[in-house]
Amino acid sequence: MISTATNTVTGIPIPVGRAPVGVAVTPDGSKVYVANTNDGTVSVISTATDTVIAPPIPVGSLPWGVAVTPDGSKVYVVNLIDGTVSVVSTATDTVISPPIPVGSAPEGVAVTPDGSKLYVASLGVGTVSVVSTATNTVIGPAIPVGSEPVAFGVFIQPPQPETTFAGMSGYSNCYGTSISALVRQYGGLNAAASALSFPSVKALQNATMAYCGG
């Protein structure tokens, strides 16, 4: 455990299974789920006590990535050797569904912000599988991506709000008004693009044009 206040290790190590790799925290911060690759299990840790609070949960062979649904009800664990995904209920800390078959050697996994879909990156075949969390089944064909996708971390982000500008959409002077306002507010278009998370001034100008209906 590392304290974010002091950036130092605190407490004593929490013993889990052998060769832990994947880890995910429930949205309320109360539990941590750890995939133990050499045991084929998942350990459950209480963040209130920093102790393991349930027997190891048996999943598939070589469990790797872990993801929790936004409502905190389910944990998805990808099993690298089996090419499957296990589904764990956080209410009972037990597996609640037959393994979901995906591509060969899955490693990365993430849930959409609305909790409706699970995306699984399969290293062995260079694809991403899409799983419906309502039915725990794969929907549609696998999506071809690059070679050996891993995709650890949070690789699905909520949609960003649409940027609005000072001009009035549909009016002939909209673009000029918007650009002038951005220059005044941010001290230049480069600064405006950076502050508004646009990759370039050109991207900002294109967004402004689209807003103005040009």
Domain boundaries, given as residue ranges, for the chain: 2-144, 174-212
90, 72 Cβ separation under 8 angstroms:
yes
1, 51 Cβ separation under 8 angstroms:
no
Which among 29, 63, 59 is positioned nearest to 46, based on CA atoms?
29
Q: Give the predicted TM-score (pTM) of the model.
A: 0.74
The 10 Å CB-count burial string (b at 16+, else e) for 77-106 is bbbbebbbbbbbebeebebeeebbebbebb
Is the domain 2-144 a CATH 1.10.40.30 member?
Answer: no
Q: What is the pLDDT along the chain (214 residues), one digit of tens a residue?
A: 788 788 888 889 999 999 999 999 999 999 999 999 999 999 999 999 999 999 999 999 999 999 999 999 999 999 999 999 999 999 999 999 999 999 999 999 999 988 999 999 999 999 999 999 999 999 999 999 988 898 766 666 666 556 778 888 888 899 999 999 999 998 999 988 888 878 889 989 998 998 888 5
Which among 102, 104, 131 is positioned nearest to 115, based on CA atoms?
131
**Helix, strand, coil share of the chain (percent; to 5):** 15, 35, 50
d(CA 109, CA 64): 9
